[in-house]
Structure 1
Amino acid sequence: MHIVTRIASAAAVALFALGGAAAANAAPAIPLNNGQETTDAKGGAHGMFRYTIDGDQFCYTLDVAGLTVAAAAAHVHSAPRGEAGPIRIPLIVPNETSFHVEGCTTVSDPAILAGVQDNPGGWYVNVHTSTYPGGEVRGQLK
């Protein structure tokens, strides 16, 4: 996992470099917390999420601290604030309670990335744990 994260990190760092085309398309930092989740998650976990879209690449940086148990998964879902929605983009995260990860994933359906770009508020990112399989922390994209 760490090797994949490091390789993906190098690609993400290159995309986030100042002056790059992807940096101009970077979304603002998105806070994650329990209060945005629809699962009644508790525990005080929190984090930040950033993403860029370049062609069919969805690149991200995800920082999370204080999960109740190790992360099981993370995804970008389509749904407005206060609603749960289907998984659209899987993200790679380590099996830890606090972490920093950077990566890129290829999204084969251009409608998904167009949807994120056209209406980011209709999408959210969340991190799932065994304590809260529906999501422990969430942040609505912007």
Structure 2
Amino acid sequence: MRDPPWAATTYTRIQWPGGPSRVGRACHGGGGFPMNRTLQALLAAVSVLLLVAGTALGKAGGVPAIPLNNEQETTGATGGGSGFFSYTIDGDTLCYTLEVTGLTVAPVAAHIHPAPRNVAGPVAVPLATPSGATGSSAGCITAAEGGPMTPAELAAIAADPGDFYVNVHTPTFPGGEVRGQLK
């Protein structure tokens, strides 16, 4: 059986550390076409771009991930804590993902509060607490359950998310260690 025409001209140079280089015919595992380095680099770049875009959007239809840090806190929190909050609203349900890293200690609470930037507000919606100083939590809260979020609060978040913020509370900073304004 003869090799396809392109197989005769596709070679790969192999350089072993400390050894001679060898030139041999590329193996393509049963057919297809050879991928040159430009195409490989392009596919790798597209893959990374899709991964970053998927992370930034959280779930389909969600807002971009909201950065959390202590510079946005009104409590005077210091340290290197940071994180991301992403959410979607679908009908009467708010689904979210909360990730934190580098907090001073494990968090004790996380909430959505009604207040503009640089102002502290009361708790509106309790969230599941991330699992550690570096950890995450996720969940869905339905306003129709009569649970921790009322239909009016959900409607207000959907109508003007910039009037709300998320923060994560720790024993070191009980008023909040990291915060991010919703978008």
Residues 1:74 and 2:110 are matched in the alignment: yes
Partner-residue secondary structure (3-state), 2:104: coil
Q: 1 or 2, which has the higher strand percentage? A: 1
The question of whether the paired residues in 2 share the 8 Å contact of 1:116 and 1:122 is answered with: yes
Please report how far the alpha carbon of residue 106 of structure 1 lies from its aligned counterpart in structure 2 after TM superposition: 2.1
Structure 1 residue aligned with 2:170:
129
In the alignment, which of 126, 129, 142 is matched to residue 93 of structure 1? Answer: 129
Query: Could you list the per-position Cα deviations for residues 14-47 of structure 1 after superposition, in whole angstroms to 9, with x for gaps in the alignment?
Result: x93xxxxxx32x1221000000000000011000
The AA in structure 1 aligned to 2:97 is T
Tell me the SS of whatever aligns to 1:87: coil
The Cα of 1:105 is off from its aligned counterpart by 1.6
Matched, 1:45 2:81: yes
One-letter code aligned to 1:113: L
Mapped contact 2:73–2:177 kept (Cα < 8 A): yes
Higher relative contact order (CA 8 A, sep 6+): 1
Q: Secondary structure at the match of 1:116?
A: helix
Aligned-partner residue type, residue 133 of structure 1:
P
1:64 and 2:105 matched: no
Structure 1 unaligned residues grouped into runs of 5+: 1-14, 17-22
The alpha-carbon deviation at position 95 of structure 1 amounts to 4.5
TM-score (norm 2): 0.63
Whole-angstrom distance in 1 between the partners of 2:130 and 2:96: 14
The AA in structure 2 aligned to 1:34 is: N
Amino acid at match of 1:83: V
SS at match of 2:120: coil
Computing the radius of gyration from Cα coordinates, the structure with the larger value is 2
Runs of 4+ in 1 over 6 A off after TM superposition: none
Q: How does 1:97-116 map to 2 (within 5 A)?
A: 97-107=133-143, 108=146, 109-116=150-157
Matched positions, count:
121
CA distance in 1, matches of 2:67, 2:130: 19
